[in-house]
Structure 1
């Protein structure tokens, strides 16, 4: 894992085998919280698991959507006895990989400062997480609800996406004031971006105006 800030690390990138070009990257993140290490997203590389062990393990693992549930999710849960969290609308597909310890269905605050924000649309159970670090930066983990495609911000509509819910989630983002946006999957771009209010609102404008629509065409 690579350090990004004093209390935040990013995992070794994954490159999906089905992709013909190696420009699609997937990442997870480790947050060193005062109560213990928190994992956000997908962390599959064995060397990252060793890093987590050396860093004191993991107390909780939060998924941003069910696509992040994979073999490493189960390994981390078993190795570190960490509690796995996901949105209740992700429970079915996540349970095919491993059984979550807890689910949530509305906004919650854990440890008094780690905010769980349901942001459905990309998937029914997509969720984001907001945390203001004692080192001064506010981190927003958005999963795949918002991402970068080379030099542009996009939202992604897949076969299971709900455009109306996605629009509502982007409107929720407009009320937030992150300093760093951290994404689970990007194409041709780093998986984090520092923003100010102007660039953040412009990013949301761009994502709303140019969604990447991967849904199959409607039948005539």
Structure 2
């Protein structure tokens, strides 16, 4: 585990596909820790246990589903959270405890933002850290790639080009300080950014759709 900010930790990298790197991210709070995305690295789960375990795990879309979800829940007794349109795929590996289909602010102060387009139920999450950073967790909706940013429509999972464009425009005004994707290609998945830079990234990405 690598500490990125006072309340945010990054798990070890995994490589599910050639050239693609994934991580999970642990947000620590006195009220209970939150895990974004998923990890299958046992050493990281031990480290998370030492940091107080987790109360909730947020999955941004079905591609993060797999056997580690059940192992994490067995170890920590946490709630698993996802969009309603992703539940069938995710539920093959572990029961989903918290299901959302619209925007909400959850009890752990995580803001849920449905952003369909990559898959039908792709979801992003925002957290305003008490340490001054506004974190935007984008899943695979938009991710750092080489010297730019990438996005992808997964047609077989209900993704649609127009929905993706609309979702990206929804994120345009989020004003993040740090953007954290679930995957990246030859770059760090964690990118510090200004609001002006973020709007430019979104405009360029939408323009390529």
Band the TM-score falls in, shorter-chain normalisation = over 0.9
Aligned equivalent of 1:4: 4
Aligned equivalent of 2:112: 116
CA contact (8 A) 1:154 1:206 kept: no
Aligned equivalent of 1:87: 83
Aligned equivalent of 2:24: 28
Aligned equivalent of 1:202: 200
Q: Which runs of 4+ in 1 moved over 4 A?
A: none
Q: TM-score, normalised by structure 1?
A: 0.91
Aligned equivalent of 1:38: 34
Q: TM-score, normalised by structure 2?
A: 0.95
Aligned equivalent of 1:74: 70
Which aligned pairs between 1:22-171 and structure 2 lie closer than 5 A?
23-111=19-107, 113-159=109-155, 160=157, 161-171=159-169
Task: Give 1:112 shift.
Answer: 6.5
SS at match of 1:131: strand
Structure 2: 5+ residue runs without aligned partners? none
SS at match of 1:157: coil
RMSD of aligned Cα (Å): 1.2
CA contact (8 A) 1:155 1:208 kept: no
Structure 1: 5+ residue runs without aligned partners? 212-220
Aligned equivalent of 2:14: 14
- Matches of 1:87 and 1:158, distance apart in 2: 16
Task: Give 1:9 shift.
Answer: 0.6
Which aligned pairs between 1:162-181 and structure 2 lie closer than 5 A?
162-181=160-179
- Matches of 1:175 and 1:74, distance apart in 2: 35
SS at match of 2:33: strand
SS at match of 1:156: coil
SS at match of 1:61: strand
CA contact (8 A) 2:173 2:199 kept: no
SS at match of 2:28: strand
Aligned residue pairs total 207
CA contact (8 A) 1:35 1:111 kept: no
